[in-house]
Structure 1
Amino acid sequence: MPTFQDHFADHAASSFARQMALGDVIGERAWSLDVQKGLLRFGDDQEYRVQLLGSHAFEPGTWLWIWANAQSDIPPQHTQAALRIQQLGEAQGIGAFTEASVQLGDVTDHMIAITCSGLEGGRCFYRAPYDGGALFMLLEDAPAQVLAPVPLARVNTVLMEVVSQFEVDHRRLVTSFFQQQGLDATATESGGIRATRAGEGHIEINFDALGRMSKVTGTLTPAAAQEAPVQAAPKKPRWQFWK
């Protein structure tokens, strides 16, 4: 049976890429939420239907699933995604998906939201802060450019951001990411993974003895290279999509 960490590794990179793309779309717009209608608005020109997941209470450091929040009075049609995750957790014995209240630590609120966004068919999530906590939700109708495959030139940036911010199985992360992004991936003689996309070029990732990404190289077509250069791992996170 897969564990929570397995599911997280499977979906972290693609989810992170969608969050980066969503950030490009919403920019600095202020948000507002109509809970009864299940509508999340950004500024005066963007509106998305949402499924509510749960909330993080800062002081006790706990995650409360929306289906366990008896005082929320949220219409049930806006909690179906969280219930599906609960059912998956029951089938696979994953406590983080089935316990009404989860003590956060090794598993964080963002890890839960990232994993849910992948398990729910590749969606985006949004963290809506309030005094003393934050509410997490999935967007049901994000723009096409947010859900589009990641340009090959951005692949290294996505992977390096994820491994610099989370403890995760690097090889599983890379393998799942390449598969989800529709890249033609093959094993190299050195035990690495080479991924190619027609018209964009290729990227090759090598791993050390502990299974961590150790070297990233690649060749991009001139057109693809305009998107972003293949680059080394950052010394620290340069951008965190939940801030």
Structure 2
Amino acid sequence: MGLKEKRIIQAFQNDLFPALETEINTAAGYTVPLSISWNTLMEDRFSHLYNDTFPKIYFLPLVEAFKAICVDDMGVQLLKAGLKNVIIVNENNEHNLERAITFEEGVLKIDHSPIMNADNVEGKTARITSLLEDKLEEFAEGTEEVATSQTENKQQEAKETTKVDIEELYNQSFVISNEKQEIFSEMVEGLDWSCDMLEGKLTYGEDKVFDIQVLGTYSQNEKSWLWAWANTQSGIPEKFLQTALAVKAIGEAYQIEDFTTPKKELDSDPGVYFSTIASAMAKESCYVPLVFKGLVVYVTITSEEADSKARTSPALICSHFTMVAANYTFPHKYSLYFYLKGKGYEVELPGNNIVAKKGDDQILGIFDLKGRLMKISNSKITV
């Protein structure tokens, strides 16, 4: 492999693979063990196609197959119990699916050319799904302990789960959260507020009343953050702690210490950072920092009015992303991928670009080699 190919594959690993890995783990319901021989995934004459072909050949079929298997808890548990490893390699430049994709002794092996037969995503998905259904069913029939060992499995998974960088979750959440904050700010601009923590209500003006969830507090005097689920002294009803508890569960699943430590001493307020992730991942309407004397209380709100104002037209989505990209520092390509997925688009990664489709609408994002936005545009798909 020459220097050019190495750089292209390294760029794919840095810019595109993290989002694909997240999709795989989300579809499976746990962190899937992946063994990828990157140095074998090469075809000297066609390295410029890797950003398009790698997802279609190696990763998107895994996502769709895992979705098909994990439609219920039984499927998730069988996959966890039966799938020991996923090996991705190119040893034989194979493109015949029966020879290229195998599942033996708990190891799913994709030994496929990095270029040939790339567009047949459905065929690869069907092959993987069929193999897993057949083999996992055999495993279930021969193992009586699957149902009774779930607790042990979870404990072992907790030890083995690969840590997810909190920055990755933040970058996935940032653009959609920014949109939610902008919409809510316009709704309540200039209005005074009052909050009843025990009733779980936040009121703006005379008639704008919102249901809240309490995330946590930052004490400006103590320079400390306290998660709401750990704030036993305030007597917050548990029904208003569900989003905070959901964030804690995310922290436990991905070993994110910031989400599982009850109290942290911090010189600067992390509330906006934490709330950006929480409001996006919990699909809340937005978050609100409520400033009292020496204390900032962070809450999320639920609002049908705010949700109804979400950007849905491609032109507004493009406009919003352009504005955010111009004013904030974040990984443009990575964040746009998740922003469009959150909007219900089917997202592809041809070359160094992003193509997203939803019905007749299409959004194109063009990036430089460092993943920075050069242009984003929308159009109608012509048939």
Match of 1:153 among 315, 320, 330: 315
| Cα distance in 2 for residues equivalent to 1:106 and 1:212 | 29
Match of 2:366 among 195, 201, 206: 206
| Cα distance in 1 for residues equivalent to 2:165 and 2:365 | 25
Is residue 152–residue 197 contact of structure 1 (8 Å, CA) maintained in 2?
no
| Cα distance in 2 for residues equivalent to 1:101 and 1:124 | 23
Note closer, same or farther for the CA distance 1:165–1:103 as it changes in structure 2 (3 Å cut): farther
Is residue 54–residue 136 contact of structure 1 (8 Å, CA) maintained in 2?
yes
TM-score (norm 2): 0.51
TM-score (norm 1): 0.77
Note closer, same or farther for the CA distance 1:96–1:150 as it changes in structure 2 (3 Å cut): farther
| Cα distance in 1 for residues equivalent to 2:169 and 2:308 | 21
Query: 165-174 vs 78-87, which deviates more?
Result: 165-174
Aligned residues: percent identity? 22
Q: CA deviation at 1:113?
A: 0.4
Note closer, same or farther for the CA distance 1:132–1:150 as it changes in structure 2 (3 Å cut): farther
CA RMSD of aligned residues (A): 2.7
Corresponding residue of 1:111: 273
Amino acid at match of 1:110: V
Query: 72-81 vs 90-99, which deviates more?
Result: 72-81
Is residue 217–residue 295 contact of structure 2 (8 Å, CA) maintained in 1?
yes
Q: Does 1:192 align with 2:353?
A: yes
Amino acid at match of 1:123: S
Corresponding residue of 2:176: 14
Amino acid at match of 2:291: P
Query: 133-142 vs 87-96, which deviates more?
Result: 133-142
Amino acid at match of 2:334: R
| Cα distance in 1 for residues equivalent to 2:321 and 2:266 | 24
Is residue 183–residue 306 contact of structure 2 (8 Å, CA) maintained in 1?
no
Alignment of 1:1-243 (within 5 A): 1=162, 2-104=164-266, 108-143=270-305, 145-146=307-308, 148-160=310-322, 162-163=324-325, 167-189=329-351, 191-196=352-357, 202-213=362-373, 215-219=374-378
Note closer, same or farther for the CA distance 1:89–1:145 as it changes in structure 2 (3 Å cut): closer
| Cα distance in 2 for residues equivalent to 1:60 and 1:164 | 35
Note closer, same or farther for the CA distance 1:175–1:35 as it changes in structure 2 (3 Å cut): same
Q: CA deviation at 1:36?
A: 0.9
Q: CA deviation at 1:106?
A: 9.1
| Secondary structure at the counterpart of residue 234 of structure 2 | coil
Structure 1: stretches of 5+ with no match in the other structure: 222-243
| Secondary structure at the counterpart of residue 191 of structure 2 | coil
Is residue 39–residue 49 contact of structure 1 (8 Å, CA) maintained in 2?
yes
Is residue 363–residue 378 contact of structure 2 (8 Å, CA) maintained in 1?
yes
**Per-residue deviation, residues 97-137 of structure 1 (Å, max 9, x unmatched):** 11122355799321210100112134311111112231111
Amino acid at match of 2:189: G
Q: CA deviation at 1:202?
A: 4.6
Amino acid at match of 1:192: N
Corresponding residue of 1:239: none
Amino acid at match of 1:15: S
More strand by share: 1
Note closer, same or farther for the CA distance 1:49–1:122 as it changes in structure 2 (3 Å cut): closer
| Secondary structure at the counterpart of residue 71 of structure 1 | helix
| Secondary structure at the counterpart of residue 175 of structure 2 | helix
Q: CA deviation at 1:89?
A: 0.7
Q: CA deviation at 1:219?
A: 4.7
Q: CA deviation at 1:46?
A: 0.7
Q: CA deviation at 1:37?
A: 0.4
| Cα distance in 2 for residues equivalent to 1:207 and 1:27 | 35
Q: CA deviation at 1:203?
A: 4.0
Q: CA deviation at 1:94?
A: 0.4
| Cα distance in 2 for residues equivalent to 1:205 and 1:133 | 41
Structure 2: stretches of 5+ with no match in the other structure: 1-161
Larger radius of gyration: 2
| Cα distance in 2 for residues equivalent to 1:167 and 1:107 | 19
